[in-house]
Structure 1
Amino acid sequence: MSDPVPVAVPRKGRPLEAVLERIARVGDDDRLDRLADRVSNTLRYEKSITKGRTEADDGPYERLADYSHPGEPNSPEFTLMRDDRDGKPRRIVFDAATVDLGDTRLKLVGREEPFRALRTHEFALGFDSADLVLEEVVGIRPDGLGTIADVNQRIDPVDTDVRVVNGLGDTVYHTLMGHPSELDLGTDLDREFLTSYTGPLCISPRYERLVTAVLGTDALEGVEFVYPAHDEEEEAAVARTGLGVYLTVTGSTARDHGLVVGEHLFPSETVLMRNTAESDDEVDRAADLVTVDEAASDIRV
Structure 2
Amino acid sequence: MTPPPVRIAVPRKGRPLEAVLDRVGELADAASVADDIATTLRYEKGLTKGDHHDARGVYERLAAYSTPDEPTAPDYTLLRDSRVGKPRRIVFDSLTVTVAGTRVELIGREEPFRALRTHEFALGFDSADLVLEEVVGLRPEPLTSIADVNERIDPVDTDVRVASGLGDTVYHTLLATPDAHGSAGVDRAFLDAYSGPVCISPRYERLVEAVLGTAVTEGLTFTYPDADHDEEEAAIADAGVGVYLTVTGSTARDHGLTVGEQLFPSETVLMENQHEATGERVASVRQALTTAPTETAIPPQ
> Once the 2 structures are TM-superposed, how far is the Cα of residue 147 of structure 1 from its aligned partner?
3.0
| Range with bigger deviation, 290-299 or 113-122 | 290-299
> Once the 2 structures are TM-superposed, how far is the Cα of residue 220 of structure 1 from its aligned partner?
1.6
Distance in 2 between residues matched to 1:298 and 1:53, nearest whole Å: 39
**Contact 1:130/1:271, CA 8 A, preserved across alignment:** yes
> Once the 2 structures are TM-superposed, how far is the Cα of residue 80 of structure 1 from its aligned partner?
1.4
Distance in 2 between residues matched to 1:271 and 1:290, nearest whole Å: 10
The aligned counterpart of 2:191 is 194
> Once the 2 structures are TM-superposed, how far is the Cα of residue 296 of structure 1 from its aligned partner?
6.9
Q: 1:128 to 1:87 in 2, by over 3 A?
A: same
**Contact 1:201/1:243, CA 8 A, preserved across alignment:** yes
Distance in 1 between residues matched to 2:297 and 2:291, nearest whole Å: 13
Question: What is the aligned residue count?
Answer: 296
> Once the 2 structures are TM-superposed, how far is the Cα of residue 229 of structure 1 from its aligned partner?
1.9
> Once the 2 structures are TM-superposed, how far is the Cα of residue 290 of structure 1 from its aligned partner?
0.9
User: Structure 1 counterpart of 2:279, which letter?
Assistant: D
Counterpart mapping for 1:1-301 below 5 A: 1-27=2-28, 29=29, 32-185=30-183, 187-232=184-229, 233-278=231-276, 279-295=278-294, 297=296
3-state secondary structure, aligned to 2:93: strand
User: Structure 2 counterpart of 1:89, which letter?
Assistant: P
**Contact 1:73/1:99, CA 8 A, preserved across alignment:** no
> Once the 2 structures are TM-superposed, how far is the Cα of residue 289 of structure 1 from its aligned partner?
1.2
Distance in 2 between residues matched to 1:38 and 1:226, nearest whole Å: 40
- What's the Cα RMSD here? 1.7
**Contact 2:144/2:264, CA 8 A, preserved across alignment:** no
3-state secondary structure, aligned to 1:95: strand
Q: Which runs of 5+ in 2 are unaligned?
A: none
Deviations for 1:162-217, whole angstroms, at most 9, x for unmatched residues? 001111111111100000011232x2111111111111111111111000011111
**Contact 1:188/1:262, CA 8 A, preserved across alignment:** yes
Q: 1:237 to 1:148 in 2, by over 3 A?
A: same
Deviations for 1:228-267, whole angstroms, at most 9, x for unmatched residues? 1224121111111111111110100000011100000001
User: Structure 2 counterpart of 1:9, which letter?
Assistant: V
3-state secondary structure, aligned to 2:149: helix
| Range with bigger deviation, 259-268 or 223-232 | 223-232
Q: 1:240 to 1:86 in 2, by over 3 A?
A: same
Distance in 2 between residues matched to 1:183 and 1:292, nearest whole Å: 42
Distance in 2 between residues matched to 1:235 and 1:146, nearest whole Å: 23
3-state secondary structure, aligned to 1:219: helix
Distance in 2 between residues matched to 1:82 and 1:189, nearest whole Å: 40
> Aligned residues: percent identity?
63
3-state secondary structure, aligned to 1:9: strand
User: Structure 1 counterpart of 2:56, which letter?
Assistant: D
Distance in 1 between residues matched to 2:55 and 2:182, nearest whole Å: 57
**Contact 1:74/1:100, CA 8 A, preserved across alignment:** no
3-state secondary structure, aligned to 2:95: strand
Distance in 2 between residues matched to 1:147 and 1:80, nearest whole Å: 35
TM-score (norm 2): 0.94
> Once the 2 structures are TM-superposed, how far is the Cα of residue 150 of structure 1 from its aligned partner?
2.3
TM-score (norm 1): 0.94
Distance in 2 between residues matched to 1:77 and 1:133, nearest whole Å: 27
Distance in 2 between residues matched to 1:170 and 1:235, nearest whole Å: 22
3-state secondary structure, aligned to 2:92: strand
